[in-house]
Chain A
Amino acid sequence: MTNVLEISGLRKRFGSKQVLSDVTLSVPESCVFGFVGRNGAGKTTTMKSIIGLLKPDGGEISICGEKVTFGGTKTNRFIGYLPDVPEFYGYMTAREYLSLCGRVARMKPSEIKDRTDELLELVGLADEKHRVKGYSRGMKQRLGIAQALINRPKLLICDEPTSALDPVGRREILDILKDAGKQTSVFFSTHILTDVERICDRVAFLEGGRIVLCGDIDEIRKKRADTAVEVLPESPSDAALLAEQFPSGKVTDGCFVLKSASQQDAEELMQFILERHLSVIRFERREPDLENMFMEVIGE
């Protein structure tokens, strides 16, 4: 399996600010890839470099094995791009805009028509007759995905596609992206971790201008199996008793938490509760979530 996108040692500085110092990652075929980082971490800078809209100071980017050059647009035939705040010509209808995009992407007229119908259906704008200037943010975002997919790209790049949307709009976009991921690789940036958990196969965390964690989501989860056991006893004094018995645990808000608990730890804890006949409201094993992992890798 070849990689659709490969970035190695990407560097970029704006004035005195080193935005990217060493970004290295690869996106395999048919995969939904989450690109996570805080606001201002350099996600957009990375994406604009991939499309050749920005000139990086160093490093290499290749798409389907071809090197990306700044200002050049050759490798863009493999790419569909959705900018963070997509702006379209307000005086056009969605259909007219997609047709313009198709012509720019050098598609045949019959192909443009078929693909436009298909995509408008996919993003739910098929019955929209109005011009783009009256569109809501969510509708623009959906048109943005449609225009990005028009030339059947090998790689769909979306810059924070869900950040500005309400929960309903967000779910719709995520579903569309997940659908799109069956035909093409999707590389999307976000700072919303639940979005990543919902649709991504792989993830990379960008922090301080470099990739601090990258890989298959399930594998990362396993590697960092920081399973915690949480016990909420009926009486607060019981929580203190548990803390006494298991010194590595902590009591917060009347709830006893044992971090990095192995299977054996959990069994011992349960044994203790049974022996002492403690009355427990809740006994829970917590799976590690991305948010905790993210906080951990960025050191907060």
Chain B
Amino acid sequence: MNGIRNFFTFTGKELLELRRSGRLLVFLIIFVLFGIMNPAVAKLTPWLYESMAESLEASGLTVTEYNVTAMDSWVQFFKNMPMAMLVVLLIFGGIFTSEYAKGTLIPLLSKGLRRNAVNAAKTFTMLLVWSVGYWMSYAITYYYTDYYWDNSVVKHYAFAAFGLWLFGALLLCCISFFSSFAGSTAQVLLGVGAVYIALNLLLMVGTVREYLPSFLTQSGDLLTGQAQPSDYFTALLVAAVASVALLIASVPITAKRRV
């Protein structure tokens, strides 16, 4: 029971910190901006082609009329959201280590705050921001795209969006895990970066492809209907299990950490 009370108390502190440090505003702006950008870029594509038509013609390319559909908007979504993810990872990279470095946890730990509660509250806060922000972007993209075009021509976009969201959640769990022993924010980000790069390089190995959480970011075929959600189930399962395993593994390591 005490652990749960500690969790709520500390989550409250994390949310206050997000608001007062101005990070909440940054997240809000980024996710709204990214949400609007996807349909906006799609909408502007014909106009862009038109304005470049002359120079393209000069280089030998003839531009025929470009027909924009909902597909262009969703392709933008899956191209842009990894960038939003990167911003979230960079901002949250120091969520643990900055407290360890400054020693702000010491007075609270000496009052009986449980380390597990700190881990849980910080991980929850990261996932909360990522989830609310991500699905807000999704909703904005969805409604604008449906308003201008027709979402029904795009296949499985909700499932594909879920996959990308889960991949982001996995990387946030990596922050919790690396923070349980890393000495600095740079080390945490290096660890998360290494995981990200390794997972993406492994995508080139055909045989393991569908087991990799990073496979969830390869949603092009899903949108056109060439791939089915069932092709991604293994990757989903691996990502979910890995996230939980990372969180569980960080508990005993944090408990032994010198504060």
Contact = CB atoms under 8 A, between A and B. Distances in A.
Interface string B98-119: 0000111011111111110000
Contact of B107 (A74, A92, A147): A147
Contact of B113 (A71, A74, A104): A104
A71 B255 contact: yes
A76 B111 contact: yes
Interface in B72-114: 102-104, 106-114
B2 interface: yes
Contact of B111 (A91, A96, A104): A104
14 contacts: A51-B110, A53-B258, A71-B115, A73-B109, A77-B112, A81-B106, A81-B107, A82-B107, A87-B102, A88-B107, A91-B20, A104-B111, A105-B111, A106-B5
B109 to A, nearest CB: 7
A151 interface: yes
Contacts of A225: none
Given A71-B255, A71-B256, A92-B16, A104 B104 contact: no
Contacts of A76: 109-112
Contacts of B112: 73-74, 76-77, 104-106
A101 interface: yes
* Binding site secondary structure of chain A: loop
Interface in B159-177: none
Interface residues of A, number: 33
Interface string A61-92: 00000000001011011011111011111011
A53 B256 CA distance: 9
Interface string A83-119: 1011111011000100011011110000000000000
A51 B115 CA distance: 14
A252 B46 CA distance: 98
Given A83-B106, A147-B107, A104 B17 contact: no
B6 interface: yes
Interface in A243-288: none
Contacts of A80: 110
A104 B9 contact: yes
A103 B17 contact: no
Interface bin, chain B: 20 to 34
A144 interface: yes
Contacts of A54: 258
B257 to A, nearest CB: 9
Closest 6 CB pairs of A and B: A91-B20, A81-B110, A73-B112, A103-B9, A105-B111, A87-B102
Interface in A99-155: 100-101, 103-106, 144, 147-148, 150-151
Nearest to A75: B112
Nearest to B10: A104
B259 interface: yes
Given A104-B6, A148-B107, A91 B21 contact: yes
A250 B73 CA distance: 96
A87 B102 CA distance: 7
Interface in A159-179: none
Nearest to A50: B110
A53 B115 CA distance: 11
B103 A87 contact: yes
B108 A101 contact: yes
Nearest to A151: B111
Nearest to B112: A73
Contacts of A96: 16
Contacts of B109: 51, 53, 73, 76
A91 B104 CA distance: 12
Contacts of B10: 104
Nearest to A70: B256
Interface centre among A73, A81, A150 (most CB of B within 10 A): A73
Given A73-B109, A88-B104, A89-B17, A100 B9 contact: yes
B106 A53 contact: yes
Nearest to A83: B106
B108 A100 contact: yes
Interface string B194-205: 000000000000
Contacts of B255: 71
B115 to A, nearest CB: 7
A234 B10 CA distance: 71
Contacts of A88: 104, 107
Interface centre among A77, A81, A96, A100 (most CB of B within 10 A): A100
B111 A101 contact: yes
